[in-house]
A and B are shown apart, each in its own frame.
Chain A
Amino acid sequence: MNFALLSLAIPLFSGLALLLYRRHGGPWVILSSTLSLTAALIALVEVVDGRNQTLLVGGWAELLAIRLQLEPINALLLGFTALINLLVALYWVRNCRNHNYWALASFLHTTLAALWLSGDLFNWYVTLELLSVISVALVALGGAAALRPALNYLLLSLLASLGYLLGVAIIYGRYGILDVQQLSQVTTMDTPTTLAMLLMTLGLMLKGAMWPLHLWLPPAHSQAPTAVSALLSALVVKGPLFILTLLWTRMAPVELANKGGEFLAVTGIFALLVGGWCSFRTPMLKEMVAYSTVAQLGYVMLALGLMLQWQLREMMVALWLFVLAHGLAKTSMFLAAGEMQKIFGNKRVTALRGASQTAPVVMFGFAVAGGSLIGLPPSGGFLAKWLLLQPLFTDFERWPLAFAVLLGTLVSAAYVFRVVTLAFDRAEREPPTAGDPVSEWLTLVPALLVWGMALVSETLILWLTRVAQ
Chain B
Amino acid sequence: MNLAWTAILPVAVVLSSLVPGLLIFTLREEQQGLRTFLNLVGAVVKLVLVALMLYGVSQGTEFRFNFPFLPEADILLHGDALSLQFVGLSSVLWLATTIYAIGYLKHSRLKSRFFGYFSLCVSATVGLALAGNLVTFLLFYELLTLATFPLVVHTGTAEALKAGRVYLAYTLGGGALSLMGIAMLHSIGGTESFTSGGYVAPLVAEHSGSLGLAFFLLVAGFGVKAALLPLHGWLPIAMVAPAPVSALLHAVAVVKAGVFGLVRVVYDVYGVEVMEELNLNTPLLWVAAATIIYGSLRALTQTNLKKRLAYSTVSQVSYIAFGAGLLGPLAAAGAFAHLVHQGLMKVTLFYCAGAFAETLGIHGVRELNGVGRRMPATMAAFTLCALGMIGIPPMAGFISKWYLGLGALQVNEEWGLAVLVVSALLNAAYFLPLIYRGWFSSPAKEGWPEEKSFEERLTWLPETHWMLIVPALFTALLSLLAGLFAGTDLSPLAWGLFIVEREFAL
B172 touches A454 (CB 8 A): no
- The CA-CA distance from A425 to B150 in the complex, in Å, is 11
Scoring B residues 168 to 193 as 1 if CB is less than 8 Å from chain A, else 0, what string do you get? 10001101110110011011100000
Query: Can you report 13 residue pairs joining A to B where beta carbons are below 8 Å apart?
Result: A357-B110, A360-B113, A371-B146, A378-B75, A389-B183, A392-B187, A393-B210, A402-B180, A417-B165, A421-B164, A424-B154, A454-B69, A457-B69
> Which among B70, B155, B161 is the interface contact of A458 at CB below 8 angstroms?
B70
- The CA-CA distance from A372 to B138 in the complex, in Å, is 15
A383-B70, A409-B179 given; 4 more Cβ-contact pairs under 8 Å: A377-B135, A393-B188, A394-B187, A396-B209
A378 touches B139 (CB 8 A): yes
- The CA-CA distance from A454 to B73 in the complex, in Å, is 12
A462 touches B184 (CB 8 A): no
A410 within 8 A of B: yes
Minimum CB distance partner of B155 in chain A: A426
B contact residues around A459 at 8 Å (CB): 68
Scoring A residues 370 to 401 as 1 if CB is less than 8 Å from chain B, else 0, what string do you get? 01001111100001001001111110100000
Minimum CB distance partner of A414 in chain B: B169
B177 touches A376 (CB 8 A): no
B contact residues around A409 at 8 Å (CB): 176, 179
Given contacts A371-B146, A377-B142, A394-B188, contact A424 B153 (CB under 8 A): yes
B157 within 8 A of A: yes
B139 touches A390 (CB 8 A): no
B60 within 8 A of A: no
B contact residues around A354 at 8 Å (CB): 156
Q: Which of B135, B184, B210 has the most CB of A within 10 A?
A: B184
- The CA-CA distance from A383 to B138 in the complex, in Å, is 13
Given contacts A426-B157, A458-B70, contact A390 B172 (CB under 8 A): no
B contact residues around A417 at 8 Å (CB): 165, 168, 172
B33 within 8 A of A: no
B contact residues around A195 at 8 Å (CB): none
A6 within 8 A of B: no
B202 within 8 A of A: no
B161 touches A406 (CB 8 A): no
B contact residues around A356 at 8 Å (CB): 113, 150
A393 touches B139 (CB 8 A): no
- The CA-CA distance from A413 to B167 in the complex, in Å, is 13
A389 touches B187 (CB 8 A): yes
B contact residues around A371 at 8 Å (CB): 146
A contact residues around B71 at 8 Å (CB): 458, 461-462, 465
- The CA-CA distance from A427 to B173 in the complex, in Å, is 28
A contact residues around B187 at 8 Å (CB): 389-394
Of residues 96 through 150 on chain B, the ones whose CB sits less than 8 Å from some CB of chain A are: 110, 113, 135, 138-139, 142, 146, 149-150
Given contacts A357-B110, A389-B183, contact A406 B70 (CB under 8 A): no
Q: Which of A390, A402, A422, A424 has the most CB of B within 10 A?
A: A424
- The CA-CA distance from A394 to B135 in the complex, in Å, is 18
B contact residues around A357 at 8 Å (CB): 110, 156
B188 touches A458 (CB 8 A): no
B146 touches A389 (CB 8 A): no
- The CA-CA distance from A425 to B157 in the complex, in Å, is 7
- The CA-CA distance from A354 to B113 in the complex, in Å, is 13
- The CA-CA distance from A357 to B142 in the complex, in Å, is 23
A410 touches B176 (CB 8 A): yes
A424 touches B150 (CB 8 A): yes
Minimum CB distance partner of A413 in chain B: B172
A contact residues around B135 at 8 Å (CB): 377
Closest 4 CB pairs of A and B: A426-B156, A458-B68, A393-B187, A377-B139
Of residues 104 through 159 on chain A, the ones whose CB sits less than 8 Å from some CB of chain B are: none
- The CA-CA distance from A357 to B155 in the complex, in Å, is 12
Mostly helix, strand, loop or mixed at chain A's interface?
helix
> Which among A389, A427, A465 is the interface contact of B156 at CB below 8 angstroms?
A427
Minimum CB distance partner of B185 in chain A: A393
B70 touches A393 (CB 8 A): no
Given contacts A376-B142, A377-B139, contact A389 B172 (CB under 8 A): no
Kindly provide the distance from the CB of B235 to the nearest chain A CB, expressed in whole angstroms: 18
Minimum CB distance partner of A387 in chain B: B70
> Which among B75, B153, B157, B183 is the interface contact of A390 at CB below 8 angstroms?
B183
Of residues 402 through 455 on chain A, the ones whose CB sits less than 8 Å from some CB of chain B are: 402, 406, 409-410, 413, 417, 420-422, 424-427, 454
Kindly provide the distance from the CB of B409 to the nearest chain A CB, expressed in whole angstroms: 40
Of residues 335 through 385 on chain A, the ones whose CB sits less than 8 Å from some CB of chain B are: 354, 356-357, 360, 371, 374-378, 383
- The CA-CA distance from A213 to B176 in the complex, in Å, is 29
> Which among A386, A424, A458, A462 is the interface contact of B183 at CB below 8 angstroms?
A386
Scoring B residues 286 to 315 as 1 if CB is less than 8 Å from chain A, else 0, what string do you get? 000000000000000000000000000000
Minimum CB distance partner of A424 in chain B: B153
> Which among A390, A391, A413 is the interface contact of B168 at CB below 8 angstroms?
A413
Kindly provide the distance from the CB of B128 to the nearest chain A CB, expressed in whole angstroms: 12
Kindly provide the distance from the CB of B261 to the nearest chain A CB, expressed in whole angstroms: 14
B138 touches A377 (CB 8 A): yes
B146 touches A376 (CB 8 A): yes
Kindly provide the distance from the CB of A365 to the nearest chain B CB, expressed in whole angstroms: 14
Given contacts A458-B71, A461-B71, contact A410 B173 (CB under 8 A): yes
- The CA-CA distance from A115 to B368 in the complex, in Å, is 73
Minimum CB distance partner of B141 in chain A: A377
B156 touches A425 (CB 8 A): yes
A378 touches B69 (CB 8 A): yes
- The CA-CA distance from A392 to B160 in the complex, in Å, is 39
- The CA-CA distance from A461 to B149 in the complex, in Å, is 31
Minimum CB distance partner of A392 in chain B: B187
B contact residues around A377 at 8 Å (CB): 135, 138-139, 142, 179
Kindly provide the distance from the CB of B237 to the nearest chain A CB, expressed in whole angstroms: 14
B contact residues around A427 at 8 Å (CB): 156
Minimum CB distance partner of B164 in chain A: A421
B contact residues around A410 at 8 Å (CB): 172-173, 176
Kindly provide the distance from the CB of A46 to the nearest chain B CB, expressed in whole angstroms: 25
Minimum CB distance partner of B173 in chain A: A410
Kindly provide the distance from the CB of A65 to the nearest chain B CB, expressed in whole angstroms: 40
- The CA-CA distance from A427 to B142 in the complex, in Å, is 28
Kindly provide the distance from the CB of B118 to the nearest chain A CB, expressed in whole angstroms: 15
A contact residues around B142 at 8 Å (CB): 376-377
A contact residues around B68 at 8 Å (CB): 457-459
Kindly provide the distance from the CB of B174 to the nearest chain A CB, expressed in whole angstroms: 11
B contact residues around A376 at 8 Å (CB): 142, 146, 175
- The CA-CA distance from A375 to B178 in the complex, in Å, is 13
Minimum CB distance partner of B112 in chain A: A360
Scoring B residues 243 to 254 as 1 if CB is less than 8 Å from chain A, else 0, what string do you get? 000000000000
B contact residues around A422 at 8 Å (CB): 161
> Which among B156, B173, B177, B179 is the interface contact of A424 at CB below 8 angstroms?
B156
> Which among B157, B175, B183 is the interface contact of A393 at CB below 8 angstroms?
B183
- The CA-CA distance from A386 to B70 in the complex, in Å, is 9
A457 touches B156 (CB 8 A): no
A contact residues around B146 at 8 Å (CB): 371, 376
Kindly provide the distance from the CB of A313 to the nearest chain B CB, expressed in whole angstroms: 15
- The CA-CA distance from A421 to B156 in the complex, in Å, is 9
- The CA-CA distance from A425 to B162 in the complex, in Å, is 10
Kindly provide the distance from the CB of A319 to the nearest chain B CB, expressed in whole angstroms: 17
B contact residues around A454 at 8 Å (CB): 69
- The CA-CA distance from A418 to B175 in the complex, in Å, is 17
Minimum CB distance partner of B180 in chain A: A406
- The CA-CA distance from A462 to B68 in the complex, in Å, is 11
B210 touches A406 (CB 8 A): no
Kindly provide the distance from the CB of A410 to the nearest chain B CB, expressed in whole angstroms: 6
- The CA-CA distance from A363 to B188 in the complex, in Å, is 39
- The CA-CA distance from A409 to B157 in the complex, in Å, is 28
Minimum CB distance partner of B156 in chain A: A426
Kindly provide the distance from the CB of A463 to the nearest chain B CB, expressed in whole angstroms: 11
A contact residues around B110 at 8 Å (CB): 357
A421 touches B165 (CB 8 A): yes
- The CA-CA distance from A383 to B70 in the complex, in Å, is 8
Minimum CB distance partner of A426 in chain B: B156
- The CA-CA distance from A378 to B150 in the complex, in Å, is 20
Given contacts A360-B113, A383-B70, A457-B70, contact A424 B180 (CB under 8 A): no
